[in-house]
Amino acid sequence: MFRSTLLALGVLTSSMAQAAEVPPAMSQYIYDDLMKWVNDAQIVQAINAQNNLTDGLTEADIIARDEIWRAQLGADHSPLINEVVNAPLSTFLRDHMGNSAGRITEVFVMDHQGLNVASSGITSDYWQGDEAKFKQTYAKGAGSVFVDEIDLDESTQTYQGQVSFAVTDPQTGVVIGAITVGLNASTFF
């Protein structure tokens, strides 16, 4: 176990892309806490299930779904948003967020198209596939990590840094999606 953890950390260190310098406390939290659960079996299973459903979607289909999501923001009837935030995996994500002592502001999981699979809360859009958090992880391969600049996040109204990881199916070794964890910047300075 210890040896495989060191191997995973070595892969992580060699494939970390950064848009900004990472504070030492945040880096330690990424390695000591997040790496223990971002590739959990529940996450892998949920991504694989959604990949089977979204495999044949065209870019036009994806954009149409993203537009539906945006139209449902703040609406009384929001079935697509509810499907994501009420997914069983979303409870798992909220549990990790709740146990983070305020360090985690949001968590969301994406499939191989960059579409939301599960989320701790409502994201501002459904399709993440056109953003660095997805392009710098999923497209870069197994072990890829991307740490974005600290910025004011619209959905959480906090200054946060987002760290994103490629999610790999341990049985096939294939990257199947990605996960993004928003970290409350004030807790690391």
Q: What is the pLDDT of residues 94-150, one digit of tens each?
A: 999 999 999 999 999 999 999 999 999 999 999 999 999 999 999 999 999 999 999
Q: What is the pLDDT of residue 156?
A: 76
**Which of the two residues, 91 and 152, has the higher pLDDT score?**
91
**CB-based contact 179:50 (threshold 8 Å):** no
Q: What is the assigned CATH class of domain 2-188? A: alpha beta
CA dihedral 142, 179, 69, 42 (to 10 degrees): 100
**Which of the two residues, 57 and 153, has the higher pLDDT score?**
57
Residue 43 CB partners (closer than 8 Å, separation 6+)? 89, 92, 109, 167, 179
What are the beta bridge partners of residue 152? 159
- For residue 19, pLDDT over 60 is answered with no
49-76 pLDDT, tens digit per residue, is 999 999 999 999 999 999 999 999 999 9
Confidence of residue 7 (pLDDT cuts 50, 70, 90): very low
The string over 120-153, giving b where at least 16 C-beta atoms fall within 10 Å of a residue's C-beta and e elsewhere, is: bbbbeebbbbebebbbbbbebeebbbbbbebeeb
**Mutual angle of helices 88-98 and 41-54, in 10-degree steps:** 140
**What are the structural domain ranges in the chain?**
2-188
Q: What is the mean pLDDT of the chain?
A: 90
Q: What's the average model confidence in pLDDT over 161-174?
A: 96
Q: What is the pLDDT of residue 9?
A: 37
| In 32-156, beta strands by DSSP E | 104-110, 116-119, 145-147, 151-153
Confidence of residue 5 (pLDDT cuts 50, 70, 90): very low
